[in-house]
Amino acid sequence: MATVFKRTEMLVDVPQHYCPGCTHGIAHRLVAESLDELGVGGRSVGVAPVGCAVFAYNYFNCDMHEAAHGRAPAVATGIKRVLPDNIVFTYQGDGDLASIGTAEIVHAAARNENITVIFINNAIYGMTGGQMAPTTLPNQVTTTSPYGRDASHCGMPLKISEMLSTLDGTYYIERAALNTVKNIKNAKKAVKKAFQNQVENKGFSLVELLSTCPTNWGMTPIEALKWVDDNMIPYYPLGVYKDRGEGELK
């Protein structure tokens, strides 16, 4: 029987701990395929976050670091400055990157560190059980915003791609989503480009991936995919926010 689809070399053959319907698995696959296709797996070093992807170091088939909460861009900076010819990436969620780690991501971007950042935005803290994230939408119910996020009380969500694209240092910023086949295909292109940029020494590249959290959103996986379309994409529009290779966009 002919094989039409197989595990990529850059993923370790172990069961992942993610919940049914969670799109982390897809994001992992896109990263792994990109490393594979670019032929850089053997010189890649990844940095895992604190959050649902905390065990990512067991899944990617390359050297990995586990970082403290929010510090992955600083850790990646340290690695890249020692190993400038290696491919260094961070894989971070929204609590990690957009809350406790804002200083680290902003300054890594401002320095135009030649690293690749995969930013998973699912508008919630997954690992700790569904608390409000900096990316939680206005009126969204979480375990720490039980009446819905009240913007007059705790402010508005952070739009990371828009924010970082204003920095002169950043090279490439794109937001994609993992909720439809079409969006996933675009996401793959973005992820691969973000790594290609690093291979070509272009500089700081970040891809924000709108993801689902059916468990903490209290939805079925299919409802969650639709919720991304109906609620997240209108607030977090998809597209390329910065590409210094193409001049300023948007």
Q: Which residues bind another protein (CB under 8 A)?
A: 12, 41-45, 47, 54-55, 57-58, 60-68, 71, 74-83, 86, 103-104, 106-107
Query: Which residue, 35 or 137, has its beta carbon nearer to another protein?
Result: 35
Give min distance, CB of 237 to another protein, in A: 29
Give min distance, CB of 114 to another protein, in A: 13
Q: Decide if 81 contacts 114 (C-beta within 8 A).
A: no
Tell me the C-alpha distance between 49 and 66, whole Å: 6
Give min distance, CB of 17 to another protein, in A: 10
Give min distance, CB of 77 to another protein, in A: 5
Give min distance, CB of 193 to another protein, in A: 21
Query: Which residue, 76 or 158, has its beta carbon nearer to another protein?
Result: 76
Strand-pair partners of 210? 121, 177
Q: Decide if 167 contacts 110 (C-beta within 8 A).
A: yes
Which two three-digit tokens encode residue 75?
């850790």
Query: Which residue, 54 or 141, has its beta carbon nearer to another protein?
Result: 54
Q: Decide if 161 contacts 6 (C-beta within 8 A).
A: no
From 213, 20, 189, 21, select the one nearest 128 (Cα to Cα): 213
Query: Which residue, 94 or 104, has its beta carbon nearer to another protein?
Result: 104
Which residues fall within 8 angstroms of residue 141, CB to CB, at 6 or more apart?
Answer: 147, 148
Query: Which residue, 62 or 137, has its beta carbon nearer to another protein?
Result: 62
Query: Which residue, 106 or 219, has its beta carbon nearer to another protein?
Result: 106
User: Long-range pairs for 24-28 at CB < 8 Å and ≥24 separation?
Assistant: 24/52, 24/53, 24/120, 24/211, 26/178, 26/184, 26/187, 27/91, 27/118, 27/120, 27/178, 27/187, 27/209, 27/211, 28/56, 28/59, 28/60, 28/91
Give min distance, CB of 217 to another protein, in A: 25
